[in-house]
Amino acid sequence: MKNLLLALLLTLPVSTVLAQDASSVLRPPKGSQVAIVVFEDLQCPKCRMDSPLEEQASRTYKIPLVHHDFPLPMHNWSYDAAIIARYFADAHSPQLSNDFREYIFQHQLEINPQNLRAYADKFASDHKTDLPFVLDPQGKLAAEVNADKQLGQRLGVSHTPTIYIVSSKNPAKPYVEVTDSKQLFQMIDAMRAE
């Protein structure tokens, strides 16, 4: 009994920290009442399939779509692709980064560790920008990807995509996980109605 009580006391602070993390991260950007937050892996087939639906929902409802990188260990080029996406966001614009993510999803089945850079160079050329030979010399972009991954781990993310509908309208229920992407639109409707 004493061990059970001790175990419960030790887990209490962890759940409190997780709740604090979730409430601070799983909220819409300033100026928005509702948003879609996605933890994704650019090499994940399910992420590729769900991405157009997430984009469509974002456009339909005119709500932000917030990407967090969550490269899975079994994927051999997703981490590098996430760093490249971060480069486009930081050096150019979030929209160019989102366009790159969509481009990678469109070509996902053709990409491998040896040709990822060639695909990234072609994307950059098609968008009339350059991709430096050394992309992340100080490791800043890698640190951003790692921070997203750690954030997801603290929130309990274990698969990709992990999709949340977040809202600032109801403090008692600020977010809900979308477990079936076919219900994305209905869940947004429900969150907006609260």
Q: What is the pLDDT of residues 32-90, one digit of tens each?
A: 899 999 999 999 999 999 999 999 999 999 999 999 999 999 999 999 999 999 999 98
pLDDT given for residue 13 in this prediction: 40
3-state secondary structure string across 1-63 = CHHHHHHHHHHHHHHHHHHHHHHHHCCCCCCCCEEEEEEECCCCHHHHHHHHHHHHHHHHHCC
The answer to whether residue 14 scores a pLDDT higher than 90 is no
The rounded distance, in Å, linking the Cα atoms of 70 and 166 is: 18
Domain range enclosing 100: 24-193
pLDDT given for residue 194 in this prediction: 79
The answer to whether position 175 is within a domain reads yes
Tell me, what amino acid is at 142?
A
Confidence at 173, pLDDT banded by 50, 70, 90: confident
Confidence at 11, pLDDT banded by 50, 70, 90: very low
The answer to whether position 55 is within a domain reads yes
The answer to whether position 11 is within a domain reads no
The answer to whether position 86 is within a domain reads yes
The rounded distance, in Å, linking the Cα atoms of 157 and 140 is: 23
Cβ burial of 187 (10 Å; 0-12, 13-18, 19+) is buried
Q: Residue 75: CB partners within 8 Å, gap ≥ 6?
A: 41, 43, 44
> Which residue is listed with tokens 């996605």?
38
What is the CATH classification number for the domain harbouring 158? 3.40.30.10
pLDDT given for residue 171 in this prediction: 76
Strand partners, 177: 164
The answer to whether position 17 is within a domain reads no
The answer to whether residue 183 scores a pLDDT higher than 90 is yes
The answer to whether position 161 is within a domain reads yes
- Counting the structural domains of the chain, the total is 1
The answer to whether position 12 is within a domain reads no
Cβ burial of 185 (10 Å; 0-12, 13-18, 19+) is middle
For 121-160, write each residue's pLDDT tens digit: 999 999 999 899 999 999 999 999 999 999 999 999 999 9
The answer to whether position 147 is within a domain reads yes
Instruction: For residue 134, give the 3-state DSSP assignment.
Output: coil
Mean pLDDT on 17-23: 48
Higher-scoring residue by pLDDT: 122, 26: 122
pTM of the model: 0.84
Higher-scoring residue by pLDDT: 103, 130: 103
